[in-house]
Structure 1
């Protein structure tokens, strides 16, 4: 789907301006008779009126429109107006809406964003309302509900879905290389020589003359097919679909603790060695340069037959399998030095804006979005994995009915080889530091050791 989760933040300057503006206007209003940023139960028993709901994923819009229609049928006094906007525009409109008083009543929230929104008092705590309405948070996949509890111990969202990362591959290109699909299921990786994973990537790379990356005479300046694609960029400070599945198999973690860590570890030798390995794939011609992929969708490049494999998130299943003329398969991420494979585990949630003029209807809608009634609908569309455990099973069945095996994504959850998206304060400032720093390493303008300085800048944000 179209939600590109790894591009984060609004920039240091933008964040500073937003923070000042929010301070000046005192956050959002709370004249709906419901809870404000300090909490308190919202009375949903007589909710009515129209509310606005925003999301960024166009692929999920039909499912949530059906949820809205079903919700209205059950609650004829409440109407939900849905607006969809692309990722970058979405967050600009959200943050500008906080300042201008035009933000939606309810919106799809991201783990990288909500800590700052909480500190700016833009979100409504849900604890008392959920308790009053008897909402059970144990129905979700393990750990997802906990991600949305802030440092203050209050809940600011109810889970809607989760995602993991896997390897998508072009079946024809795999076959042409004489590689069995079964061989892709247990590839191994290490940051020193790339393991069997790099050997596979090299063999799948083909130049304009038909020479493979592991053959004499291979011309890295005229690559026709890259063994491994690059999803949109360097991955900035989280590398969700670019490199986090590798670093997750090392004795390395993003922060001293997660969530709510206060010390990042981009200065670690294991991390920097991995970034050096990533750059080496570009240098060898096995993976495209950062400049070559900037501004292009990885699914578009894949659909053109230019990637034999690419690591990407489960939200891209529909797009990758929908590539015309391409028969696609998936394999789990490679097994690393830990002896296990790994994947970042990210989960979205729906939150209520503190400035909503109709918090009773907004709260009732959030509760419905997080229910099996809605998430069963989402799962049946075979686009993402819903957070409700029984709805996840329905999604797996829906994917299977389409002939898509999603076990390479779900195995990470079943085997417990996931790790959490790093949740800390200062996300936009960290993005402002790590994005150019990581880009410099990927383009060869800086050595991986330069990330130590970037790490010092990041940790300086925490005082």
Structure 2
């Protein structure tokens, strides 16, 4: 071939975009459910692309309610994302079905250090020597309080930060909830004249997104009273029949009857977070991932406070962590791993921490997030307080979707006041223990 002909072919190829780099260019499709986190990871993707010009990250954000069904459909149809944000309650099934990649060989090859992550976050994503996710963040639970309502009721921030709870009389927690609950005549639930049939503001609301973990609904109360739901991850024996859980559910079910909370039926329709933002509720439990939501939507002074101290003499919270997993059907696994590894790196996690949306998984990053949030006018230190309290993992075992359905139905019927707590949870526990052994 003459030099001129070669040059002409190269010029035409360049004009059409067929450069050497683009010939090997790869798109890695990445899915997540949290729109609040998306800008931080888009920034990470832009930084990543500068280092890997042949890899472009294509995002899809799907809300939680549709996320898992979309993913399941993608697994079957062969259109699932190459990389996706995964959840501890969901991954056992994906691993069992061979739908996610064991990352062990990549981790060993690239010398990723498991000890760099906050305690327990890495290990929980492994089973039988296989690793199914690289941790990206962690979360705990706290209460968010309408401080206008608190001030009006004579409740101080110190009162809120030092609440105690027990299932018999509710402790100082219930005393504060009574002060915060006001009927349409402005009478608080401490007053004998309080009209529980015409409540203007409920003092507390149990969320209606009920599941097998009880993350934001019942787990923190029950564990602070001594419940141990599962001795260790993958243990094929749950303790949903523990009387401590029945006591907790019975207590939470009593709040609507006293006029201190709205019914679970109404809360399902409205959403406890929306009720708080609309000033219909003065205090709700939520996860640290919701800090940005409330900052943007609550148009009144708020405060995050730690959960109450229970009969055990300690506060308790689920310590949950998300991870990124690779779909086993991906055609670009090596490039997908580069992206997963980058999201777990200090460079990307610094970006995430500086946005103050979530607590990244690497040790020392949470404090950076708290500082970033403080600069935005939010004190999120309550979540760090909770991380240093009694923490527990969500229940992890096989047949999670079926277990979730059984427990959700049982707990919902108890909280609606339609079923006896002890007998209902005993029957449900027998059913789920059979499921995890199958």
Place the TM-score, normalised by the shorter chain, in its bin: over 0.9
> How many Å apart are 1:237 and its aligned residue?
2.1
Deviates most, 323-332 or 169-178: 323-332
CA contact (8 A) 2:229 2:395 kept: yes
Deviation at 1:425, TM superposition (A): 1.2
Q: Name the SS for the 2:138 alignment partner.
A: strand
Task: Show the counterpart of 1:111.
Answer: 88
Instruction: Give the secondary-structure state (helix, strand or coil) at the position aligned to 2:216.
Output: coil
1:198 paired to 2:174: yes
Instruction: Decide whether the 8 Å contact of 2:320 with 2:394 is kept in 1.
Output: yes
Distance 2:177 2:426 in 1: 29
The runs of 5 or more residues in structure 1 that have no matched partner are 1-45
- Superposed displacement of residue 215, structure 1: 0.9
Q: Equivalent residue for 1:128?
A: 105
Find out whether 1:51 has 2:28 as its counterpart. Answer: yes
Give the superposed CA RMSD. Answer: 1.4
Alignment equivalent of 1:226, drawn from 202, 215, 232: 202
Q: Distance in 2 between matches of 1:110 and 1:349?
A: 7
Q: Which residue of 2 aligns with 1:384?
A: 358
The residue matched to 2:322 in structure 1 has which SS? strand
Q: Is the 8 A contact 2:49 2:55 kept in 1?
A: yes
Structure 1 residues 141 and 47: CA distance shift in structure 2, 3 A: farther
Residue 159 of structure 1 deviates from its aligned partner by 0.4
User: Any conservation in 1 of the 2:212–2:404 contact (CA below 8 Å)?
Assistant: yes
Whether the 8 Å contact between 2:142 and 2:386 is mirrored in structure 1 is no
Aligned residue number for residue 436 of structure 1: 409
How far apart, CA to CA, are the structure 1 residues paired with 2:241 and 2:392? Answer: 20
Q: Which residue in 2 is equivalent to 1:39?
A: none
Matched, 1:75 2:75: no
Larger Rg: 2
Q: C-alpha offsets along residues 188-243 of structure 1, whole Å, 9 cap, x if unaligned?
A: 0011111111111111101111111121121111111010022234x232211111
Q: Aligned pair 1:154/2:127, yes or no?
A: no
Counterpart Cα distance in 2 of 1:117 and 1:323: 35
Q: Supply the distance in 2 between the matched residues of 1:317 and 1:47 (Cα, whole angstroms).
A: 41
Please state whether the residue corresponding to 1:351 is helix, strand or coil: strand
1:47 Cα deviation from its structure 2 partner: 8.4
Which residue, 359, 367, 380 being the options, matches 1:406?
A: 380
Distance in 2 separating the partners of 1:238 and 1:282 = 22
Query: How does 1:139-178 map onto structure 2 within 5 Å?
Result: 139-150=116-127, 152-178=128-154
**Structure 2 runs not aligned, ≥5 long:** 1-22
Matching residue within 299, 306, 320 for 2:294: 320
The answer for the alignment partner of 2:226 in structure 1 is: 251
Structure 1 residue 419, shift from structure 2 partner: 0.9
- The equivalent of 1:236 in structure 2 is 211
Structure 2 match to 1:19? none
| Counterpart residue number, 1:445 | 418
Does the 8 Å contact 2:206/2:252 carry over to 1?
no
Instruction: Output the CA distance in 2 between the equivalents of 1:129 and 1:292.
Output: 48
TM-score (norm 2): 0.92
Residue 238 of structure 2: aligned partner = 264
Residue of structure 2 in register with 1:102 after alignment: 79
Deviations 1:367-420 (A, max 9, x none): 00111111111111111111112322221110111121111101122x242111
Counterpart for residue 62 of structure 1: 39
Q: For 1:210 and 1:361, how far apart are their aligned partners in 2? A: 61
Moved over 6 A (4+): none
CA contact (8 A) 1:122 1:355 kept: yes
1:338 to 286, 309, 312: 312
Q: Is residue 185–residue 332 contact of structure 1 (8 Å, CA) maintained in 2?
A: yes
TM-score (norm 1): 0.87
